[in-house]
Amino acid sequence: MRYFITGTAGFIGFHLARRLLEQGHEVAGFDGMTAYYSLRLKEARNAALAQFPAFQGTIAMLEDRAALEAAVAAANPDVIVHLAAQAGVRYSVENPKAYLDSNLVGSWNILDIARTIGVGHLMLASTSSVYGASPTIPFRETDKTDEPLTFYAASKKAVELMAHSYAHLYQVPTTAFRFFTVYGPWSRPDMAPFKFVKAIVEDREIEIYGEGQMSRDFTYVDDLVDSIIDLSAIAPSETNRVEGIDTLSHQAPFRAVNIGGGQPVGLLDFIRTIEEALGKTAKRKMLPMQQGDVRRTFASADLLVALTGRKPEIRLDQGIRTFVDWYLQHREELAL
């Protein structure tokens, strides 16, 4: 099949594109190569994908409508997977306009182009942050998601709503998947696993927010990629409605799906897992909750399992060990 993926120089986009290429699919990548974090890391991901003859990459911003239209037209994709976005919950407090430009304007461009070409399945990355500080656990796709705590979460919820309207108006089959704290090799340096491992290796303090009383439903990146690929073959329609728990709209071929294992881990247990993998004890600095943070995330995987037959299951200790091995192997080469 032919896939068009935005954000292929990013953490998740890189892993998804590489897996699809290894499976023999054609992948057209699109990435703005923004300087939000190390360009050296993004360039290394891009270079790894460029080794595949079936990969074609375009470097341009989502807001550049002409460049995006040309890249999609050249790819003629069966599936569009829109992963590119301005990431980072905390950064959205400092620079909300970056999220307006990329996550709203850029995503609208994707929606409108998908409508124009009549793509078979449009897939959009959303986030567990849309649940805000929901008191209901686990977080189910049918829960209310109208109280985002950050502009990042609000921008992702807005994309879901815009996508639903386009699915209704133009019958574009659309799946929005909500990620839960994805980690693994090649991850972003601003994410907690990367920051903690780097600080411990360099014998520096790690900053532990919320006095360590938070918990997260961690998802290893290979599990996430499995779920995206599984869902790519299940374009939303009445023929695959799951009674009782589905978010499949009654007005449009649109569905939102959690991608998480439903096994939250306390922050202090998470740190102990990293310490065991490194064989080194962290120096800890306890801090209060940061603005926009939530105490916990906890995915219901019921809908994902009903649709695909499986859910993320790689254990945290396995995933952290693989990430630590990758980091230690590449830290000098990539200036990590």
pLDDT in the model for residue 89: 65
Is 43 contained in some domain? yes
Question: Token digits for 294?
Answer: 């939530």
Q: pLDDT-based confidence at 90, cuts 50/70/90?
A: low
Mean pLDDT of the region 313-325: 97
Q: Measuring CA to CA, which residue among 66, 46, 64 is closest to residue 56?
A: 46
Q: What are the structure tokens assigned to 232, written together?
A: 């790519």
At residue 28 the predicted structure's pLDDT band, cuts being 50, 70 and 90, is: very high
289 or 260, which is more confident: 260
Length of the chain: 336
Distance CA 274, CA 84 (A): 28
Rounded distance between C-alpha atoms, residue 53 and residue 49, angstroms = 9
CA dist 218 and 319 (Å) reads 10
List C-alpha distances in Å: 66 to 28, 274, 311. Answer: 16, 45, 38
Q: Is residue 336 part of a domain?
A: no
Is 266 a member of any domain? no
173 belongs to a structural domain: yes
Selected catalytic residue, list 99, 152, 183, 327:
152
Spatial distance between the Cα atoms of 71 and 27, rounded to a whole number of angstroms: 11
Instruction: Kindly report, residue by residue over 157-171, the tens digit of the pLDDT.
Output: 999 999 999 999 999
- Residue 202 pLDDT greater than 80, yes or no: yes
Task: Output the domain CATH number for residue 145.
Answer: 3.40.50.720
The CA distance from 157 to 134, in Å, is 15
For the segment 165-194, what is each residue's pLDDT rounded down to a tens digit?
A: 999 999 999 999 999 999 999 999 999 999
Q: State what percent of residues in the chain have pLDDT above 90.
A: 87
In this predicted structure, what is the pLDDT of residue 92?
66
Domains in the chain, number? 1
Instruction: Mark out the alpha helices in 9-150 (DSSP H runs).
Output: 11-22, 39-50, 65-75, 91-94, 96-99, 107-117
How many CA atoms, within 13 angstroms, populate the side-chain half-sphere of residue 133? 9
Arithmetic mean of pLDDT over the chain: 95
- Number of other CB atoms surrounding residue 314 within 10 Å: 18
At 24, list the tokens: 């023999």
Q: Give the model's confidence band at 83: pLDDT under 50 very low, under 70 low, under 90 confident, else very high.
A: very high
Find the domain containing 43 and state its range.
2-180+221-261+298-313
Query: Is 166 an active-site residue?
Result: no
Q: Does 332 reside within a domain? A: no
Residue 239 is assigned to a structural domain of this protein: yes
Rg of the chain in Å (alpha carbons): 19
Residue-level pLDDT at 35 = 85
pLDDT of 88 strictly over 70 = no
Decide if 16 is inside a domain: yes
Distance CA 106, CA 155 (A): 11
Distance CA 240, CA 235 (A): 9
pLDDT tens digits along 256-283: 999 999 999 999 999 999 999 999 999 9
| Of residues 166, 178, 167, 84, the one with CA closest to residue 128 | 178
Question: 86 pLDDT band (50/70/90 cuts)?
Answer: confident
278-306 average pLDDT score: 94
